């Protein structure tokens, strides 16, 4: 039997560690959110098609899919959570610095591939750590962590849009690296002072720990709840990844919005998700994960169809915030549900597998959307996204609400 640690017994800890990790999470989203806003400018300068832009993001997600599972296994086997989170944040930010000097399509592909690898360390480390430190408020603290991502996604387009009125996109990319370096150092120092930075059992070497983790992962792959949620999440990631890539291009190229207004619309999308995330997380702790997720994804599908019908009108812009409220609120609920079903000592591996399948969906979505946009017009992307979120909802609907048998945790 797995011993219950002090972390698992405690229901409350200082919320300062939650805020430190949440701010770090905000920056892991800050960089991609800035990049989405820059994509129309980069595409125009380098003469890229919709398909090429979709392919750039596809390589990023493929790299994440290939590296997320090994990253989760490393987290469970070795630990060193402060170091891993600091390394992840630096690894995400540094390739964006290199993009400032890119002048060819293949250089952008190489940089986004590096980002996909670096990003795999953050979530398998941070999310299980928070859930383990606050077991009675799992959905809520994971939602707060998710809010950090929403803050980064929301304010990055605003800041980047304002900076683009003064600087070139290359200068903006270079300036972006400074906050990431500062936050990496802060995480490394602060979490290093807490007694949470060890992932190995006392007296066990890394090889023995990794062997046990691999054995646990084999059992984890038989977990029906994890499998259904992961496949459903892959389809949801098709929706989110394509939306984040093609919504700015639709606003800039079809509706003629300036970078400032495009950034404002992307802010509205994420700010609505920011407001909804803690509500959804708290409610999922009280009434169950499935009911929150099914209703939110159903509403997302409805809003996406309404956006496609609205076309180039103010109604399209007004619907953006409604979409953010429903689509982004459930990320934390999904992650908390996965941790509910996984053994406590396999949280990093479970989250790593979840994000690996999400990365596969994230790779397919922008690529298919780019092909559709080139062939039939960019508005068809929104119909495609409504279809993918409906498929995601079907997998969630048939996922068992209860945890997997406790024998799997033995």
- Backbone phi, psi, residue 377, to 5°: 105, 150
Sequence spans of domains, the chain: 13-409
CB 238 within 8 A of CB 361: yes
Query: What tokens does 281 get?
Result: 């997380």
CB 353 within 8 A of CB 197: no
160 closest CA partner among 272, 239, 42: 42
DSSP helix/strand/coil, 11: coil
Query: What tokens does 293 get?
Result: 């997720």
d(CA 277, CA 273): 6
CB 269 within 8 A of CB 329: no
d(CA 61, CA 355): 10
Query: What tokens does 128 get?
Result: 């299980």
Region 13-409: CATH code: 1.20.1250.20
**Quick one: pLDDT at residue 17?**
78
d(CA 127, CA 346): 12
Query: What tokens does 189 get?
Result: 């120092």
Distances 103 to 45, 170, 171, 305 between C-alpha atoms, Å: 9, 10, 14, 37
**Quick one: pLDDT at residue 194?**
56
Q: Which residues contact 314 (CB under 8 A, 6 or more apart)?
A: none
Q: Distance of alpha carbon 291 from its chain centroid, rounded?
A: 22
**Quick one: pLDDT at residue 209?**
65
**Quick one: pLDDT at residue 202?**
43
DSSP helix/strand/coil, 328: coil
Query: What tokens does 149 get?
Result: 């991502």
**Quick one: pLDDT at residue 408?**
42
Query: What tokens does 399 get?
Result: 């996922």
**Quick one: pLDDT at residue 10?**
41
**Quick one: pLDDT at residue 79?**
60
**Quick one: pLDDT at residue 401?**
66
pTM: 0.67
Could you say which residues of the chain have pLDDT below 50? 1-12, 197-204, 403-410
**Quick one: pLDDT at residue 14?**
63
d(CA 29, CA 149): 5
Decide: residue 167, CB within 10 A, 0-12 exposed, 13-18 middle, 19+ buried. middle
Q: Which residues contact 329 (CB under 8 A, 6 or more apart)?
A: 273, 276, 277, 279, 280, 292, 296
């Amino acid at each position: 039997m797995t011993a219950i640690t002090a972390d698992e017994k405690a229901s409350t800890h200082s919320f300062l560690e939650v805020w430190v990790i949440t701010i770090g999470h905000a920056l892991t989203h800050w960089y991609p959110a800035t990049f989405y806003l820059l994509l129309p400018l980069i595409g125009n300068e380098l003469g890229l098609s919709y398909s090429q832009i979709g392919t750039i993001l596809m390589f990023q997600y493929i790299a994440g899919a290939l590296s997320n599972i090994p990253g989760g296994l490393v987290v469970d086997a070795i630990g060193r959570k402060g170091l891993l989170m600091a390394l992840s944040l630096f690894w995400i930010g540094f390739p964006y610095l290199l993009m400032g000097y890119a002048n060819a399509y293949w250089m952008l592909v190489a940089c986004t591939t590096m980002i996909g690898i670096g990003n795999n360390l953050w979530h398998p480390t941070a999310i299980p750590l928070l859930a383990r430190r606050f077991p009675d408020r799992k959905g809520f603290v994971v939602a707060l962590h998710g809010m950090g991502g929403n803050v980064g996604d929301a304010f990055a387009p605003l800041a980047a849009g304002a900076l683009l009125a003064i600087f070139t996109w290359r200068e903006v990319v270079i300036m972006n690296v400074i906050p990431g370096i500062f936050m990496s150092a802060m995480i490394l120092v602060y979490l290093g002072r807490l007694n949470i930075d060890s992932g190995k059992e006392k007296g066990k070497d890394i090889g023995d720990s990794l062997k046990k983790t691999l054995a646990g992962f084999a059992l984890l792959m038989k977990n029906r709840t994890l499998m259904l949620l992961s496949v459903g999440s892959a389809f949801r990631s098709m929706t989110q990844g394509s939306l984040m890539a093609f919504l700015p291009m639709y606003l800039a190229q079809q509706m003629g919005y300036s970078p400032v207004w495009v950034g404002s619309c992307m802010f509205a999308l994420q700010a609505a998700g920011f407001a909804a995330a803690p509500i959804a997380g708290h409610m999922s702790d009280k009434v169950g994960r499935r009911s929150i997720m099914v209703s939110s994804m159903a509403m997302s599908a409805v809003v996406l169809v309404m956006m496609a019908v609205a076309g180039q009108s103010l109604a399209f812009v007004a619907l953006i915030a409604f979409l953010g409220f429903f689509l982004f609120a459930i990320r934390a609920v999904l992650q908390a549900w996965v941790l509910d079903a996984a053994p406590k000592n396999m949280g990093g591996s479970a989250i790593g597998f979840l994000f690996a399948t999400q990365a596969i969906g994230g790779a397919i979505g922008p690529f298919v959307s780019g092909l559709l946009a080139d062939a039939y017009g960019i508005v068809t992307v929104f119909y495609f996204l409504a279809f993918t979120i409906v498929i995601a909802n079907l997998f969630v609907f048939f996922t068992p609400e209860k945890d997997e048998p406790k024998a799997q945790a033995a």
